[in-house]
Structure 1
Amino acid sequence: MTWLKHTYKTQLPKSLYSVQAPEFVSNPEMVLYNKALAEELGVEEYLKEEEKALAYLSGNETVPESEAIAQAYAGHQFGHFNLLGDGRAVLLGEMKTGKGLYDLQLKGSGKTAYSRRGDGRATLYSMLREYLISEAMHALRIPTTRSLSVVKTTDAVYREQTHEGGILSRVAASHIRVGTFEYARYFGEAGDLQELLEYTIQRHYPELKDHQNQALALLQTVMQKQKALIIDWLRVGFIHGVMNTDNMAISGETIDYGPCAFMNAYHPNTVFSSIDTQGRYAYGSQPKMAYWNLRVLANALLPLIDKEEEAAKEKAQEVLNQFPEDFSKAYFEMMCHKLGIANPVEEDRPLVEDCLGYLIEYKVDYTNFFTALRRGGELIDKLRKEEVFETWYTKWEKARVRESSVAESDALMKQNNPVIIPRNHLVEEVLKAGASGDMQSFHTFLEELSSPYEDTFSIQVVPANFDSDYRTYCGT
């Protein structure tokens, strides 16, 4: 009996996917296998034989009774609309777990109907990167796709230079994106958009099934999910780097870890992605871009919101108008929690704004600041020598014990502020070693990142001037 279901293929129109087997790879070798995740999903028993697991997760052998597909979708990439699709990934099927269905996708598995001029492959380096960052994000308590395995192959992958190939097994609540709805609206056949809406609600939000306006309810729900997700990104200094609509999951998970990075010294204009030359997806621009993407989703859903286009636009805009104020409130609350203020009041707003202003002025590390603020030490002692910061510090000390004890405030700060994050320089170090065959430092770092809020860790030190030359790449 197969352990994979195929509701995407059996319940959705054929225009939304292409049947696509993975391409055969040479000399596959299991480099990483996430046994804990396999056990959590309840699929460990199907992968306990190493040879079978390697065959399935490399794509060299088909899971019994399964048939892989590549999903079709469109997307606005840096604001420009394109016809896209899974150009280097296939969906093996969906695993039935205690938490519902979860997609099992192979990334880097070869050419598909949507590859255009691409080779459909991925480098070992880039797949190790997604495994590391996605698992780190999970440990940071941020909704994310997960990584089940990385398989190395001896097939050459050509980018700026020749690399060994890598195949990632990605686990997601689903791979339905804003771009999937764009595709159904603008490239699908009559009825495709309605069927996609019904499937998405059944898969992710069954509580919306009896809503009198399902499309509008979905927009509202996805908006709340995205608001919470971006708040979490900002909380830990995460910069996605490529917030195109094809990389915005309807489930509210973080998806696609190509050019992502973590901010060191605080500045809202921080950007590391080599392809984001205009700073469209800079750290501080992510809320605005989430709103932009939600507007795209609303446009795709218009025919289902109301038969009259103008009425549909008005209804959609009424929902979208909630985002700026809701986000502002949620962001303020999150920042107050980082500062250990349990019950924020409006008078705390200048405290947050001034704090961020000082971080910019003094080029202070974002993650280290909040840890040091709770722990004390050299970083805070140095800042307190500045009169304006000492004034702020005195106000902060009073605000955080307004309705709480110092111990309660410290506990709140610890809960919301990681001590360690996947520092860019450390990520590059372990990936370089891993791609060269030495996985020891990778495993050590991954283990550390599994407990990012623990006080056993010292403050991380970033090499001087590292950020000025650091760039991330999408890997395609």
Structure 2
Amino acid sequence: MHIAFSNTYATLPERFFTLQHPQKVAVPKLFCFNDDLAHTLAIPHASTEKLAEYFSGNTLFEGSFSLAMAYAGHQFGHFTMLGDGRAVLLGEVLDLAGKRHDIQLKASGVTPYSRGGDGRGTLGAMLREYLISEAMHYLGIPTTRSLAVVETGEEVVREKSHKGAVLTRVASSHLRVGTFEYARQYGGQKNLKALLEYTIARLYPHLEAHPNKALAFLQAVMEAQVALIVEWMRVGFIHGVMNTDNMSISGETIDYGPCAFMNAYNPKTVFSSIDRMGRYRFENQPVIGGWNLSVLAGALLPLIDSDEDKAVEKATAALEEFVPLYEQKYDAMLCKKLGLERVDKEGKALANALLGIMQQKGLDYTNTFASLGFADKEHFVSLDDALKAWHAQWEHTVGDTASAKACMRSCNPLVIPRNHLVEEALVEAEAGNKKPFFTLLHALKTPYEGYENAQLQTIPYGVDVGYKTFCGT
């Protein structure tokens, strides 16, 4: 099986990676393969047996130059040396449009960065990433994607024994804020500069002629992260573990561990079992995004200006743009969810009033907006008596309700990966029943269609009480 691999990341100094083959697995068996994505990436068709051999890591691709990437990161606010502890980068491919993508095997075995871990992943964790990353793609949110999941025929112990699996992940790059932290802490200024030059050439080539590349780069990453987090807030997505090593420089959602979607609107919602203090709760995602950018700024200081005081001054001035930029983008998004194409004081007040009712009454975030945009007035106001007065004010504000609803229908999804359906799909897959997984995956590909599909909209009472998600490591 031939794929036209290259590996530009390997042109960086050797400090940034370790050459590493994936570890072989016992009995590779293909669980799912993303044919649409494979076509986009010009990956040739092959038998399920051959796909399982290659995308488990048992057979090496000709031309692949596999490696594990080194990086560091702040995990829950604490700096740690990290790296690909259970992943290898097979290489890079150009898609049909000429865009470069990383192809990585996740849960491919032990590497020098495993820190005592087993380097493996459970079938459930790999399928969760497949489902939710594909859902995010079809929701129109920048994300890594999933190409394949291969069962390994081995058991993986995470409190109890689970089936093992390997995920093939596709990304614009796997460069992270933590990669720059690593370069600053362990690589010296020469290596830090090499990383910056490489990253700009690959992801932000329009900055190559800028007189202060490092500062312009910080601003570009900030804009990408603001746009991404606003999209998360639009659909009620909670990443769950926004450590700096999980923050992609490209502005894509990466590392779907203890992630989940909010049902009943509550800005303090947190599902991650490891986020005991609620650091990464729904309402705190923009705050943490800004915090992570400050860490990136700190790593870039020597390249922003040789005078440290001036570098801090310039970086601080850039970071001060984060809050007004986020608020501008967030307000525009929220108004669009109401069908308002302009952002003004009245529109923002209307939006915040609706969110207040939703929080007080425990109304579903997705279904409330969907009902406003897709259902008739009687259905919407039937959700709660408090919505009657609000709806009258909304009608007065928007004027042309038909035009407003047309605007809303590209912004408010009807179908999201509901937590209980995701869990059902994962449990059934572990038991050998693939049907719930593929049924849900199919529905997630058309998130703005199918309002009549009540099965995907109805939330069982109390389903999220005590609900926890896990990172899979």
The Cα offsets for residues 183-224 of structure 1, whole Å up to 9 and x where unpaired, read as: 000011441100100000110010000000001011000000
Is residue 315 of structure 2 the alignment partner of residue 316 of structure 1? yes
* CA shift in 2, pair 1:113/1:362, >3 Å: same
Question: Unpaired segments of 5 or more residues in structure 1?
Answer: none
What residue is the counterpart of 1:33 in the other structure? Answer: 33
Q: Which residue identity is paired with 2:18?
A: S
Question: 1:230 is matched by which residue type in structure 2?
Answer: I
Residue 30 of structure 2 contacts residue 49 of structure 2 at CA under 8 Å; is this kept in 1? no
1:399 matched to 2:397? The reply is yes
Q: Which residue is 1:444 aligned to?
A: 439
Q: Secondary structure, in 3 states, of the residue corresponding to 1:416?
A: coil
Matched letter for residue 185 of structure 2: Y
Q: Which moved more, 1:307-316 or 1:372-381?
A: 372-381
| CA–CA separation in structure 2 for the residues paired with 1:362 and 1:196 | 50
- Rounded to whole Å, the distance in 1 between the matches of 2:50 and 2:206 is 38
**Which of 72, 90, 93 is 1:92 aligned to?**
90
Give, in angstroms, the shift of residue 93 of structure 1: 0.3
Counterpart residue number, 1:344:
343
Give distance in 1, aligned partners of 2:440 and 2:115: 36
Q: Distance in 1 between matches of 2:49 and 2:458?
A: 42
Distance 1:456 1:464, change over 3 A: closer
Residue 311 and residue 456 in structure 1: after superposition, are their counterparts in 2 closer, same or farther (change >3 A)?
same
Shift of 1:468: 1.4
1:219-368 matched pairs, under 5 angstroms? 219-368=218-367
* Residue number in structure 2 paired with 1:409: 404
Q: Which moved more, 1:70-79 or 1:448-457?
A: 448-457
Could you say which residue in structure 2 is the equivalent of 1:56?
54
- How far has the Cα of 1:348 moved from its partner? 1.7
Measure how far apart 1:99 and its partner are: 3.9
- Unaligned stretches of 5+ residues in structure 2: none
Which residue identity lines up with residue 329 of structure 1 in the other structure? Q
SS of 2:303's equivalent in the other structure is helix
Q: Percent identity?
A: 52
Deviation at 1:277, TM superposition (A): 0.5
Structure 2 residue matching 1:76: 3-state secondary structure: strand
1:6 equivalent in alignment to 2:7: yes
Aligned residue identity for 1:33: F
The answer (yes or no) to whether the contact 2:25–2:152 under 8 Å persists in 1 is yes
Secondary structure of the 1:394 match is helix
Q: Deviations over 1:335-367 (max 9, x none)?
A: 110011112222222111111111111111000
The range that moved more, 240-249 or 366-375, is: 366-375
- Aligned residue for 1:372? 371
Bigger Cα displacement from structure 2, 232-241 vs 463-472: 463-472
What displacement does 1:307 show? 0.4
**Secondary structure at 1:399 match in 2:** helix
Q: Measure how far apart 1:407 and its partner are.
A: 2.3
Q: Which amino acid aligns with 1:265?
A: A
Within 2, Cα distance between the matches of 1:235 and 1:334? Answer: 7
What secondary structure, in the 3-state scheme, does the structure 2 residue paired with 1:437 have? coil
AA paired with 2:6?
Answer: K
Instruction: Using the TM superposition, give the Cα deviation of residue 382 of structure 1 relative to its aligned residue in structure 2, in angstroms.
Output: 3.0
Q: 1:430 aligns with which of 425, 428, 433?
A: 425
Residue 24 in structure 1 maps to residue 24 in structure 2: yes
Q: Residues 457 and 89 of structure 1: is their aligned pair in 2 closer, same or farther, counting only changes over 3 Å?
A: farther
Deviation of 1:371 after TM superposition, in Å, equals 1.0
2:195 match: 196
Tell me, in whole angstroms, the C-alpha distance in 1 between the residues paired with 2:378 and 2:439. Answer: 28
Counterpart CA distance in 1 for 2:410 and 2:101 is: 28
CA distance in 1, matches of 2:347, 2:272: 34
1:83 to 59, 81, 84: 81
SS of corresponding position for 2:121: coil
SS in 2 for 1:66: coil
- The one-letter code sitting in structure 2 at the alignment partner of 1:282 is R
Structure 2 distance, partners of 1:307, 1:377, is: 61
State the match for 2:463 in structure 1: 466
**In the TM superposition, what whole-angstrom CA distance separates every residue of 1:251-307 from its partner, at most 9, and x where no partner exists?**
000001110000000011000000000000000100000000000000000000000
Aligned-partner residue type, residue 19 of structure 2: V
Cα distance, 1:411 vs. partner?
1.1
CA contact (8 A) 2:6 2:65 kept: no
- CA contact under 8 A between 1:15 and 1:189: conserved in structure 2? no
Question: Quick one: distance in 2 between partners of 1:457 and 1:312?
Answer: 56
5 Å matches for 1:14-163?
14-43=14-43, 45=44, 47-97=45-95, 98-163=97-162
Q: 1:442 and 1:378, CA in 2 relative to 1: closer, same or farther beyond 3 A?
A: farther
Paired residue type of 2:398: R
TM-score by length of 1: 0.96
CA distance in 2, matches of 1:67, 1:334: 42
Offset, 1:49:
4.3
Whether 1:218 aligns to 2:217 is yes
For the 8 Å contact 1:420–1:457, the answer to whether it is kept is: no
**CA–CA separation in structure 2 for the residues paired with 1:213 and 1:37:** 37
The one-letter code of the counterpart of 2:23 is: E
Please tell me whether the aligned partners of residues 342 and 400 of structure 1 are also in contact (alpha carbons under 8 angstroms): no
Taking structure 1 as reference, are residues 68 and 341 closer, same or farther at Cα in structure 2, changes over 3 Å only?
A: same
Q: Report the Cα distance in structure 1 between the residues aligned to 2:422 and 2:119, rounded to whole angstroms.
A: 25
CA–CA distance in structure 2, aligned partners of residues 189 and 330 of structure 1: 36
Query: Alpha-carbon deviation of 1:384?
Result: 5.8
2 CA distance for matches of 1:471 and 1:378? 35
Q: Counterpart amino acid of 2:167?
A: L
Length, aligned pairs only:
468
Contact 2:28 2:56 in 1 (8 A): yes
Distance 2:90 2:388 in 1: 57
Per-residue deviation, 1:50: 3.8
State the Cα deviation string for residues 29-58 of structure 1 (Å, max 9, x = none): 011010110001112x2x424443222211
Separation of aligned partners in 2, 1:457 and 1:85? 46
Query: How far, CA to CA, are the matches of 1:201 and 1:332 in structure 2?
Result: 30
Deviations 1:120-178 (A, max 9, x none): 00011110111011001101000000000000011221111111110000000000000
Measured in 2, the distance between the counterparts of 1:455 and 1:343 equals: 28
- Please report the TM-score for the alignment, with normalisation by the length of structure 2: 0.97
**Shift in Å, 1:398:** 1.6
Contact 2:144-2:252 within 8 A present in 1 as well:
yes
